[in-house]
Structure 1
């Protein structure tokens, strides 16, 4: 039985429908990440699971029990917010144990649960401090600890790293991954940062306009996207998209040149204009259609550089140049290997 099941879930604010018939099953112990552009509905969907937003249509079940209309405290969930929301007048231990105190848990039992969570998060020396005496990363760990002591069926994270600097984000991301492995708990995590999604998730749910575009393992979404939106959203730098014209069942014209794509399963629609997609790391030396880039920008990252250039007026490509030291103004010949090329029709649907 799935730990969390959403069936036909919708949400409307006035006449505007923002969640449009979401169906999703999350297994016990999974780490699932919701990603998508701003306004896609990922935080709204999380708040509906938490019971902080009402459901306009459909049902939500947690642990086999319908919770669509249940109060937040009766759902078996614990939520970690973007803001730490710690009580400034309480110590770390008091903040972490506050929910248990409200539930009438005896002091000795509360203290044991708090100390166990503190050991997991390595914040035992901080238990007697006030939030003002903590760094941002420490405060976020306290907020996570407050969720752990409740022993929920499902942990919900709403962009928990957004207030941290770059170094702390990486460190805390690693700690959350370790926490998931240690607890074996079901976790749902909302982020706009696809790096967090790719590194943390067992499965990623890509949302757009209140609908699910694709659900899958990070590598599956990266290597085998269902449509141009997912292909362009997952990956950094993003996928290159070029205009292509169908010349034959498995042949297209790109940048004035002919490219054969024998790996395609289905014949291409004749005479149609398509989008060709290829990732920067797949553009390089070797075989395939050759293009010469006039380099406009170089993003040097040490062992790897990304060059941005124009093979012809109005067409821009980003290519990975590993082990090279290209300079602005140079010319660089690159190749588009046919096996790495993806094609999408005018609706964005992947052609296989």
Structure 2
């Protein structure tokens, strides 16, 4: 951080945050002392209060300061709303949000956000630099830290950088492929729906599927090679019928059952009951709700899972909540996957 700050003409003013207070310190290297976190020796005991960093004086109209927290993001008792509430005034004054995450070798007790030990011993613990500030300054600063960390020997595959203003407003993802489960049970041909015919040539943003008898499951994907290792949907995807002339567009029983993120590509699994003989639908994800793949992989959903020590409680909820703060008004959905089908 110090090298990156110097490269960007910034001065570092480190503070130790806890119990709603900030205490100036001489150097971030003091955090190498175990007492820094446990509250012993020269450091008084504190409880985590990450949001208080953004509640400190210094925010002025139209001139948000650059603020960076080095943290495990295990927000006390999962109280994500307080952190988001503290950051929002900075966004209102023009700040953007960025996060640089790195997994580092660790040996000791791993706690969850309720303060309970879930693992003892070696792990690859995530540490985060959560930052807000002016766009040009923040982007340059975090990219510089990632570059200098890599040059210093931190493996690039252990680091993840997300600039939420870019992530939240990326181009809308569209469907480029449709497959059935089981495979090879559909044909991609022009369809007769109601009193009109539809084809890929006149409806380029749609995927087309003629379903064989008994097929209920489809996978829509933004990639020519759809994902196969899907996760439960978690309410990520909305399914809605698209009105067509002379056809009942009720989508009763049609639902998203899973999804997979691979890089910037999205695959959605959809169940279509046999009672649905044809129609058109859209599987959409609102802006701010579509995570990056690493958010899902680093999110701790099961404290007893093998990967739990290397993950973070509430990460997915926190980052999607912060992403929503960055969504520009009047934008299209993050993903809009359209399908026309018949049996």
TM-score, length basis structure 1: 0.31
| Structure with more helix by fraction | 1
